[in-house]
Amino acid sequence: MQQAQQFARLHNFVLFEQPSPNHVLQLRFNADRLALYDSELNSSIDVDFIQGALAHREKFGGGKGQAIARAVGLNKPANRGRQLTVIDATAGLARDAFVLATLGCQLTLVEQSPVLVALLQDGIERALLSGDGHHAVHNFTNLVHAGSALYMEHMDADSHPDVIYIDPMYPERKKSALVKKDMQILHKLIGAAQDEQHLLETALQHATQRVVVKRPIHADPVAGIKPSTQISSKKTRYDVYVINP
Ligand SMILES: C[S@@+](CC[C@H](N)C(=O)[O-])C[C@H]1O[C@@H](n2cnc3c(N)ncnc32)[C@H](O)[C@@H]1O
């Protein structure tokens, strides 16, 4: 209750002690976890690194051969034996970030939405309290509530990361039945990406090795800015911008 009161006060949100019938999206402070509930879909999203799909991927995932690993450059000889530093400039539910963390990258998560930051904080705390000392969540070194372009512009020169990863919101698909419920909820909360060009241009000035942009497989590169290379998996493409090749 105290946590809910503090959060509502900080962000100027209305606090109800019972579920409200009049609000489509509701952040629910439940006993065991924080969740974002969608009353139209009767479904909710939360962040869980201990059980479910992410934990499964941590145990049985595709290793350094998977597309996202190749995109960030984990296979490069120069990166063998060192821990890559990555800023995830669009953290969202940190699913991609978690995959990178399981592969040994050290992650700074930056997210503009206070609701998602609260969900992430809750998921990270639960994972750390679970007592699994080897958990990849330990590779999340920082969770920042900020617009990423501003965050990058204010970084010290010696803290520029090897890689900046950007996953802008895809445009909303008309056939919503084809879109998973969690993505529909995220879309209602955030809407479509608006500043992806600025984000990419800023990232290109602040990564030391590369910038990676996740795109739908047939989409144009962000703002027509041609990547150095593209790595595709089934539905997703990673546009890779190599700095000083
Ligand atoms: C498609 S989601 C990212 C999903 C994420 N890759 C994952 O695996 O869960 C995009 C997220 O980026 C955030 N975002 C978009 N532009 C941003 C910006 N300029 N600064 C910080 N966060 C941003 C949105 O609020 C949203 O949560």
Under a CB-based contact definition with an 8 Å cutoff, are residues 176 and 188 in contact? no
pLDDT for position 179: 76
Q: Which residues contact 215 (CB under 8 A, 6 or more apart)?
A: 221, 222, 236, 237, 238, 239
CA of 111 to the centre of ligand 1 (A): 6
* Predicted confidence band of residue 17 (pLDDT cuts 50, 70, 90): confident
From 112, 201, 211, 238, mutation site for ligand 1 pocket: most ligand atoms within 8 A of C-beta: 112
With a 6 Å cutoff on the Cβ, whether 169 touches ligand 1 is: yes
pLDDT tens-place string over residues 129-168? 987 766 899 999 999 999 999 999 999 989 999 999 999 9
Across residues 23-51, what is the average pLDDT? 92
Under a CB-based contact definition with an 8 Å cutoff, are residues 190 and 113 in contact? yes
With a 6 Å cutoff on the Cβ, whether 167 touches ligand 1 is: yes
Q: Which atom of ligand 1 is nearest to the CA of 98?
A: 8
pLDDT for position 68: 95
pLDDT for position 35: 96
What single string gives the DSSP state of each residue in the chain? Answer: -HHHHHHHHHHT----SS--TT-SEEEEE-SS-EEEEETTTTEEE---SSSHHHHHHHHH--GGGSHHHHHHTTTSGGGTTS--EEEETT-TT-HHHHHHHHTT-EEEEEES-HHHHHHHHHHHHHHHHTT-TT-GGGGEEEEEES-HHHHHHTS-GGG--SEEEE-PPPPPPS-GGGS-HHHHHHHHHH-S---HHHHHHHHHHH-SSEEEEEEETTPPPGGG---SEEEE-SSEEEEEEES--
Under a CB-based contact definition with an 8 Å cutoff, are residues 61 and 102 in contact? yes
What is the C-alpha to C-alpha distance for residues 139 and 121, in angstroms, rounded to an integer?
14
With a 6 Å cutoff on the Cβ, whether 161 touches ligand 1 is: no
With a 6 Å cutoff on the Cβ, whether 190 touches ligand 1 is: yes
pLDDT for position 133: 64
CA of 77 to the centre of ligand 1 (A): 30
With a 6 Å cutoff on the Cβ, whether 166 touches ligand 1 is: no
pLDDT for 86 beyond 90: yes
pLDDT for 27 beyond 90: yes
pLDDT for 237 beyond 70: yes
CA of 153 to the centre of ligand 1 (A): 18
With a 6 Å cutoff on the Cβ, whether 240 touches ligand 1 is: no
Domains of the chain plus CATH, in order, are 63-242 (3.40.50.150)
Mean residue pLDDT across the chain:
91
pLDDT for position 48: 93
pLDDT for position 111: 98
Categorise residue 32: left if φ over 0, alpha if ψ from -120 to 50, beta otherwise: alpha
pLDDT for 244 beyond 70: yes
Q: Which atom of ligand 1 is nearest to the CA of 198?
A: 19
Query: Which residue has the least CA distance to atom 23 on ligand 1?
Result: 90
pLDDT tens-place string over residues 171-221? 766 665 667 899 999 999 998 878 999 999 999 999 999 999 999 999 999
Query: Which residue has the least CA distance to atom 14 on ligand 1?
Result: 90
